[in-house]
Amino acid sequence: MTDLETFMIEHACLKLMARYNVTLDAEDYESFVKVFTEDAVWGQTTEPSFEVKGHGAIRKVAERLPREKIRRHMLQNPVVTVLGPDRAEGFCIGLVVDGPARQGPLPYPISPGGVELVAEYRDHYRKTPDGWRIERREMTRILDQKAVKGS
């Protein structure tokens, strides 16, 4: 593979990382599931752990996420490793910031504590006839407001 081909694959995968965050925060679930392959696996390795497969199951989990607060996912330290012309792996840190219930005009004040969680995402990407997609995404919560102290 040429350097240009490698760069193009890296760029496509980085765009998927960003599109995942933007569509999830916008509650655009139709676009959200399109970042995944049809047979994708999406899961969380820390409690409460889960693993689902396929667009329908992924959408159901996304639609059940709490909506009472405004939430924004931020992507940090993304790394893509190209494995070949149709495969790649990725890693990034996700920072989730939340705010109060969506009431009144913008801007909203930041909630005390503000940062809901810091997580690591490990991705597997596959080139499909429709372009690059996430084949598997695993999230591990590293720092979490909801973590039980002392456990």
According to the model, what pLDDT value does residue 17 have? Answer: 98
pLDDT at 19 over 80: yes
Look at residue 60 and tell me if it is in a domain. yes
Report the chain's mean pLDDT, rounded to a whole number.
91
Chain Cα centroid distance, residue 44: 11
pLDDT digits (tens, 9 = 90+) for 28-41: 999 999 999 999 99
Look at residue 99 and tell me if it is in a domain. yes
Look at residue 69 and tell me if it is in a domain. yes
pLDDT at 146 over 80: no
Look at residue 150 and tell me if it is in a domain. no
pLDDT digits (tens, 9 = 90+) for 76-111: 999 999 999 999 999 999 999 887 776 777 777 766
Look at residue 149 and tell me if it is in a domain. no
Q: What is the DSSP track for 32-88?
A: HHTTEEEEEEEEESSSS-EEEESHHHHHHHHHTS--SS-EEEEEEEEEEEEEETTEE
Look at residue 151 and tell me if it is in a domain. no
Provide the residue range defining the domain that includes 11: 3-144
- Identify residue 27 by its one-letter amino acid code: E
**What percentage of residues in the chain have a pLDDT greater than 70?**
93
Look at residue 87 and tell me if it is in a domain. yes
Which sign does the torsion angle of CA 20, 146, 100, 119 carry?
negative
Q: What is the CATH number of the domain that holds 7?
A: 3.10.450.50
Look at residue 124 and tell me if it is in a domain. yes
Mean local confidence (pLDDT), 49-68? 93
According to the model, what pLDDT value does residue 106 have? Answer: 75
Overall domain count for the chain: 1
